[in-house]
Amino acid sequence: MTGTASLITIVIAISVFGLLFAAWLARWVLRNSMGSEAMRKISNAIKQGAEAFLRRQNRTIMTLALLSAVLIFVGYGVLREHRSFDPVGSSFELAAWITLSFVLGAACSVFAGYVGMWISIRSNVRTAHAATSSLNRALRIALRGGAVSGLLVVGMSLLGVAGLYALVNAFSSIQESGDIPLLIVGYGFGASFVALFAQLGGGIYTKAADVGADLVGKVEAGIPEDDPRNPAVIADLVGDNVGDCAGRGADLFESTAAENIGAMILGASLALAADANGVPFSAGVVGVMMFPLIARAFGIIASIVGIVYVHMDKDEEMDPMTALNRGYYVAVVLAMAAFGGATYWLLHSEQAPNAWWHFFLCGIIGVLTSVAFVYITQYYTEYKYRPVKSIAEASETGPATNVIAGISVGMETTAVPVLVMGAAILGAYYIGDAAFANTAGVNGGLFGTAVATMGMLATAVFILAMDTFGPITDNAGGIVEMSQQPEEVRRKTDRLDAVGNTTKALTKGYAIGSAALAAFLLFQAYIDEVLQYAGGEEAGFFDLPVNLAKPVVFVGGLLGAMLVFLFSSLAIRAVGKVAQSVIGEVRRQYAGLPRVHDIIQFPDDFEPDYGTCVDLVTKSALRRMIVPGLLAVLGPVSVGLLFRIFITKGQPLIAAEGVAALLMVGTIAGILMALFLNNGGGAWDNAKKYIEAGAHGGKMITAADGTEMKNPVHAAAVVGDTVGDPFKDTAGPSLHVLVKLLSTITLVLAPLFL
């Protein structure tokens, strides 16, 4: 049962099962009623806007991806000379496989994002309608809608990697099966290439619409959130789908794909070393290499059980978050049991009988890390705790002190997660290292960190389902509000919406934690790969120390960190600029309305023109995603090529080393910046909610003369919340992708820097 064919068959079978289950869930969701005419009308407007944006976005992305595919093919096939230690016989074949896997990765990523959005814009109105009768039903529709996306993302990434593996195995001229991952690294790069643009474009769209709608609607016109009189409100609701659903879907698709391949590369290295040193794994090299895929496949099943299990209690009094948590714990426990089974099955060695449970422990470290991240994120972003309260308090002295406090909290939130990550990396490394403590020459440390990453990602399907739950419930709330449902229905969707905000924040913490572990894994894969392409030990290269003390390497690191700052700058600016044009458009639509004391008096027959706002945001967001996107792609490539061309005197691998530093320091800076932006933004958001819940005077206060007036403390908090919007939903999530893109792009292009 451990031959290549049977292992691949198991993985493919489970992936297909996951996809079929997704189809079943989708049918289950679609069978629910779409509600009243009014609801359907709003839902249709959202649907049209989201589909139009995604169509145009995909056209842009596919053009860029095809261009890159051509460049990759030319780079590998024409510019780079064949070397004797290449994994296949000719430059042309190498180029063909890498380009094929790139195109396939990109196509699958586009498809995964599209389907995620497709089901989400159909689940929202059904959730809204269900809320008119049963909260339990509404909860289940939203979660299962999200689960379709989650299953599709993880299933397809697995199917893609396993399928490509099978293809290469069957048709290429490859000599050693341990080299197969080198031919399919393009899959991860294709996926992250698409994910970067999807997350950037979607992220700019969603926050530009949100900021624009808020500033001119809530602040200037004084109408509530999601009010139908706001011309930007549909664009705002569309944004939730294209940013949070499609963007995050592509992001996690890419994570799972890249991490699977990275772990396979490390697994192959370890298994070969174990073979050579007399402690072979019982399941052979292929078994170890397949372990990540098998573990992931088991995780799919565990998550499915967890998702199906989620339900409210009979009288619907419980916190919906508790219902989700119960399902999550079911998934975690099952995933862990399956993980233990998989380690025993595939990572056991007769000669080193303790090895397998060392790796099992590494997996548990991964799970605990993800749990720790969830709690840390809660502490920093929920208003029960000190950080958010301090921001609310600082709002007493105006918007400036609110912003200062929020930035301070955001920067502070980097500390504990870094300590946890550091402990996890070192813990997994040294436990993995101890797996073969008695055998010199076999170091399981790096594979230990890879297994920890696998553990962290074991429940990715469930996490992704919870994440997509967020925009679905957010949209459902908007539909209920805009179709003017009774107060009691609104209260139900508000409860779901509040849970959705929490799950969205948690998954961001989870995503960044897994990005950190995964990045470390991908560095090692990169170094392994550089050494292989350089000829390895036969050519005299035993190791590639990434020595920061060398000027070229230090400058590479400096450039990597700079890339993170510049990229964040461009992403944040894009939101500001597009939001400014949204504000201009809304002001134009309001220009002719009568005013009393500068307050707009809406006529009863006022019909805003939603379409122009949707169109405006679509065009501007797509235009503004290009520069930061290309920066992320071309930055590392040009640094690598410049180093390669100008600095090689007596140091054959120096360009690869400089790029490695760019990758690693860029990753460190990216992780910290993402934590700062995500958590700072989340804390600002909840500081505002805390005041709205009544703290520091609430939204409205009574002036000395008895009139109701807006509370300036709340107004100050709104400023912070708005500043935080592009932080937490555009730049932050895009940085997750950037960090992984840096890894995959360097993995794919490494041979060109040698």
Q: Does 383 interact with a copy of itself (rule: CB under 8 A)?
A: no
Contacts (CB under 8 A) with a copy of itself, residues 518-547: 520, 523-524, 527, 544-547
Cα 618 from Cα 498, distance rounded (Å): 28
Q: Does 616 interact with a copy of itself (rule: CB under 8 A)?
A: no
Report the amino acid identity of residue 133: S
Q: Which stretch binds a copy of itself (CB under 8 A): 136-144, 227-235, 692-700, 714-722?
A: 714-722
Of 683, 688, 637, the C-alpha closest to 659 is 637
Q: Does 626 interact with a copy of itself (rule: CB under 8 A)?
A: no
Contacts (CB under 8 A) with a copy of itself, residues 628-647: 647
Q: How far is the CB of 730 from a copy of itself (least distance, A)?
A: 10
Classified as helix, coil or strand, 441 is: coil
Q: Does 158 interact with a copy of itself (rule: CB under 8 A)?
A: no
Q: How far is the CB of 295 from a copy of itself (least distance, A)?
A: 21
Q: How far is the CB of 76 from a copy of itself (least distance, A)?
A: 25
Binding mask 218-247 for a copy of itself (x = CB under 8 A): -x----------------------------
Cα 143 from Cα 452, distance rounded (Å): 27
What's the half-sphere exposure (Cβ side, CA atoms, 13 Å) at 687?
A: 39
Q: Residue 230 carries which DSSP code?
A: -
Number of residues forming the site for a copy of itself (CB under 8 A): 77
Binding mask 569-588 for a copy of itself (x = CB under 8 A): xx-xx-xx--xx--x-----
Tokens standing for residue 674: 């993402």
Cα 376 from Cα 736, distance rounded (Å): 18
Q: Which stretch binds a copy of itself (CB under 8 A): 2-10, 250-258, 413-421, 479-487?
A: 413-421
**Maximum alpha-carbon separation in the chain:** 88
Q: Does 429 interact with a copy of itself (rule: CB under 8 A)?
A: yes
Using alpha carbons only, give the angle 468, 472, 476 rounded to the nearest 5 degrees.
165
Q: Does 709 interact with a copy of itself (rule: CB under 8 A)?
A: no
Instruction: Provide the residue count of the chain.
Output: 754
DSSP per position, 2-51: -SHHHHHHHHHHHHHHHHHHHHHHHHHHHTS----HHHHHHHHHHHHHHH
Q: How far is the CB of 547 from a copy of itself (least distance, A)?
A: 4
Query: Which of 268, 695, 719, 747: binder of a copy of itself (CB under 8 A)?
Result: 719
Contacts (CB under 8 A) with a copy of itself, residues 652-681: 660-661, 664-665, 668-669, 671-672, 676
Q: Does 25 interact with a copy of itself (rule: CB under 8 A)?
A: no
Q: Does 591 interact with a copy of itself (rule: CB under 8 A)?
A: no
Q: Are 247 and 203 in contact (CB under 8 A)?
A: yes
Q: Are 103 and 65 in contact (CB under 8 A)?
A: yes
Q: Does 745 interact with a copy of itself (rule: CB under 8 A)?
A: no
Q: Does 399 interact with a copy of itself (rule: CB under 8 A)?
A: yes
Contacts (CB under 8 A) with a copy of itself, residues 549-568: 549, 551-552, 554-555, 557-559, 561-562, 565-566, 568
473: left (phi over 0), alpha (psi -120 to 50) or beta: alpha
Cα 305 from Cα 287, distance rounded (Å): 26
Question: In angstroms, how far is CA 339 from the centroid of its own chain?
Answer: 23
Q: How far is the CB of 457 from a copy of itself (least distance, A)?
A: 19
Cα 89 from Cα 162, distance rounded (Å): 23
Query: What are the b/e assignments for 213-226, b being 16+ CB within 10 Å?
Result: bbbbbbebbebeeb
Q: Does 60 interact with a copy of itself (rule: CB under 8 A)?
A: no
Tokens standing for residue 176: 């050693």
Contacts (CB under 8 A) with a copy of itself, residues 446-465: 449
Report the amino acid identity of residue 114: Y
Q: How far is the CB of 580 from a copy of itself (least distance, A)?
A: 5
Q: How far is the CB of 535 from a copy of itself (least distance, A)?
A: 19
Nearer to a copy of itself, 163 or 410 (CB): 410
Q: How far is the CB of 676 from a copy of itself (least distance, A)?
A: 6
